[in-house]
Copies of this chain bind each other. A is one copy, B any other.
Amino acid sequence: MAEYVKLPINVLDDFCMTAFKKLGFKKSECRIITDVLIMSDKFGIESHGMQRLVRYHKGIEKGTIVVGAAPEVVKETSTTAVIDAHDGMGQLAGHKAMQLAIKKAKKSGVGIVSVRNSNHFGIAGYYAKMASDAGLLGMAFTNSEAIMVPTFGKLAMLGSNPIAIAMPAEPYDFFFDASTTVVTRGKLEMYNKMGKPLPEGWALNKDGKASSDAPDVLANIVAKNGGGIMPLGGNTEVLGSHKGYGYGMICEIFSSILSMGMTSNYTMQNGKSGICHGFIAINPANFGDPDAIREHLSTYLRELRESPKAEGAERIYTHGEKEVEATERILREGAPVNVNTLREMVEFANFVGINPKKYFGDAVDKISDSKMFSGNY
């Protein structure tokens, strides 16, 4: 099992703010980048918070991510816009795009913004939540490096292609954020680190056959030899593989197709990211009394939670509950940070010239004890 240390959220926040400032980002930019990353750690989504720092750090070093690039609105109407991120941080383009979608939704009922030439933008849910925090229905999409193998294929042609949606409700917003692959690559890496075989129905080997061999699958993904992760629904039509593949396509349409950006199969090649995003904001007030609509959704969510449980199941969740509970726990107890991730954070600190001990204290000493560095970015 992987070793973890617990670090308070405010420490992670301070660290990110300082580290990105040292990399040359403006304070307002550091705030956005940090907010997106920290939300992931607060939600307990380890794969998209601090664990991603190394990718941003390496991306900036290699020039895939351009510090100081300003996302540019290249086409705009009262309800739509296209933004060229000019290879800047995905969080900055994403934040600007959803802000614009929200503004349009407040004025015209709906705002749809599609972004091209961007980079990894963190969790899609952050942007959907920007809209629900503003009282709107929000959706966010992003393509990514190809990892999903289409039904009956053997080469990854779509990204993990998450679709996120958030909408105001009581006692907490409806909040759904998930990849359209059956799992994300992070899960495969987790099984790999644990030395456990992958569950059936997750991954394909280089010939497009189902495989539970995590090291082999991951090595083939890195080498682009073929194979990858199955769409939600697996690799046969019996369990709906073509549906997960279809949801992946919806994500691609709102991100790379409408923006005329790179489809997933072209991203992250030749020193260029090319990642694309999509954002939708919709004002419930254009459909009726927004308070009544919020109440209507809240009632349904309550009915779902209170509906009869399967034999052996303790509770039924509605989407967003787990994130609220994780946030309460993590704010109280600190965020669990894998020592490998901490090692990367220390390297990042050294790279930008700040003292890691100042932030992480004695936890830094744990690193030398750990031998579980996967080295697999």
Q: How many residues on the A side are at the interface (Cβ–Cβ under 8 A)?
A: 83
Q: Is A369 an interface residue (CB 8 A)?
A: no
Q: A232-B240, A287-B259, A310-B204 are in contact. Are A153 and B316 (CB under 8 A)?
A: yes
Chain A 288-308, CB-CB to B under 8 Å as 1, else 0, gives 100011001100100110011
Chain B nearest CB: distance from A280 CB in Å? 9
A307 to B153, Cβ gap below 8 A? yes
A185 to chain B: closest CB distance in Å?
A: 15
> Binary interface profile of A, 224-248, with partner B (CB < 8 Å = 1, else 0)?
0010000011110011101111110
Q: Which of A195-237 contact B (CB under 8 A)?
A: 199, 201, 204, 207-209, 226, 232-235
Complex CA gap A238/B313 in Å reads 15
Given the interface pairs A207-B310, A250-B165, the reply to whether A152 lies near B316 with Cβ below 8 Å is yes
Q: Are the CB atoms of A307 and B157 closer together than 8 Å? A: yes
Q: Is the CB of A258 within 8 A of B178?
A: no
Interface: A54 (CB within 8 A): no
Which of A150, A207, A292 has the largest count of B CB atoms less than 10 A from its CB? A150
Could you tell me if A317 and B250 are in contact, using CB atoms closer than 8 angstroms? no
Number of copies: 2
A75 contacts the other chain (CB 8 A)? yes
Chain B CB within 8 A of A102 CB: no
Any B CB within 8 A of the CB of A252 = yes
Knowing A75-B287, A307-B150, A313-B152, say if A300 contacts B242 (CB, 8 Å).
Answer: no
Q: Are B297 and A235 in contact (CB under 8 A)?
A: no
Contact B152–A315 (Cβ < 8 Å): yes
Q: Is A243 in contact with B178, judged by CB distance below 8 angstroms?
A: yes
Are B199 and A293 in contact, with the CB atoms below 8 A?
Answer: no
Chain B residue numbers with a CB within 8 Å of A308 are: 153-155, 208, 226
Contact A182 B233 (CB under 8 A): yes
The reply to whether the CB of A273 lies closer than 8 angstroms to some CB of chain B is no
Min C-beta distance of A365 to chain B, whole Å = 36
B-contact bits for A107-151, CB 8 A (1 contact / 0 none): 011101010000000000000000000000100000000000111
List the 3 shortest-distance A-B pairs measured between CB atoms, nearest first: A208-B310, A152-B313, A79-B109
